[in-house]
Amino acid sequence: MNEMLPCVEIDAKVPATASVIFLHGLGADGHDFEPAVPLFGLPWARFILPHAPAMPITINGGYVMPAWYDIRSLGFDPHAGPREDEAHIRASAAAITRLVARENARGIASDRIVLGGFSQGGAMALYTGSRHPETLAGLLVLSAYELLADKREEQARANFDTPALFCHGRHDPLVPMFAGRAAHDAALRPGRDVRWHDYPIQHEVSTAELELVSGWLHERLPR
């Protein structure tokens, strides 16, 4: 995890002035979100879709698959002990931060970078973005939840006011909507643009949701 994550990169159609780093969910890879990129109509943005490392996943019987961190249980009971592997979370966050730094080196300022993801990837985007030392353009959290909520004191002041969009399926059997809503509520601060939208879907992304995300990305990364 000390090396640069392998990525699917979809370059801008014109000189890039913005970047979107989008993190896939458990068992998927960077290609998962690739078909959505043309729908957003952001020819000035570079899309970075990294592949998570492969690791054994406890809830799947130790089966090895792409993941940002191990999940030890399916429940969301805060009294049941650690649900996720904290060391994996921190290692993945460091790797994602290196991707942001690489975009900075390519001439894209942090405030022109949106960090987002789906499910595990959305949880990592929220965790990493909230702790990033430079202000980002926005945080996109799809069908996800908050990681290490008991360590919010680590969050960086630079992103206290960063706009965030949370979307969730009302019938999600894997990440219940109450977990996503709790993450949204924890991000609320006076004056901060934090939005919530839910849809009559399960653990997935709908066409209506992608249309909403497109409009939000245009707000956060205008030409």
Q: Which of 203, 206, 214, 218 is catalytic?
A: 203
Residue 1 has pLDDT above 60, yes or no: no
Is 161 marked active-site? no
Q: Which residue has the higher pLDDT, 145 or 79?
A: 145
Q: How many CB atoms lie within 10 A of CB 36?
A: 17
pLDDT value, residue 2 = 65
Which tens digits make up the pLDDT trace of 28-54? 999 999 999 999 999 999 999 999 999
Q: Which of the following is catalytic: 119, 130, 143, 184?
A: 119
pLDDT, tens digit (0-9, with 9 covering 90-100), for 94-149: 999 999 999 999 999 999 999 999 999 999 999 999 999 999 999 999 999 999 99
Residue 172 designated active-site: yes
- Determine if residue 25 is left, alpha or beta; phi over 0 gives left, psi from -120 to 50 gives alpha, anything else beta: beta
> Model-level pTM?
0.96
Whether 119 is catalytic is yes
Per the CB < 8 A criterion, the answer to whether 9 and 48 are in contact is yes
Exactly one of 29, 85, 172, 198 is catalytic; name it.
172
